Amino acid sequence: MDELIFEVTQEGDGGFVAECLTEGIFTQADDWQTLRENVKGAVAGFYFDQQERPGRIRLHLVRDEVLV
């Protein structure tokens, strides 16, 4: 696997939640920069005992907007 894709949603309080679409990896943060660091750390922790890790991590921001 060359790439992991995370679906990122923004919470009502402004924070972010990231969930990997193919592995059981999940993390959150109050801001985008911290989220990026947390995702990298979560991926490293998930693959801690394996030789090969994905070469890329993609963050896909999903925006849900209701128009009245």
Lowest mean pLDDT across 4-8, 9-13, 35-39: 9-13
For the chain, give every domain's residue range.
3-62
Q: Per-residue pLDDT averaged across 60-65, rounded?
A: 87
User: Which CATH number applies to 3-62?
Assistant: 3.30.160
**Within 13 Å and on the Cβ side, how many CA atoms surround 31?**
2
Over 90: is that where the pLDDT of 1 sits?
no
* Cα(17)–Cα(5) distance, integer angstroms: 13
What is the pLDDT, as a whole number, of residue 51?
Answer: 76
Q: Average pLDDT of the chain?
A: 93
What is the pLDDT, as a whole number, of residue 63?
Answer: 84
Query: For the whole model, what pTM was predicted?
Result: 0.88
What is the pLDDT, as a whole number, of residue 65?
Answer: 78
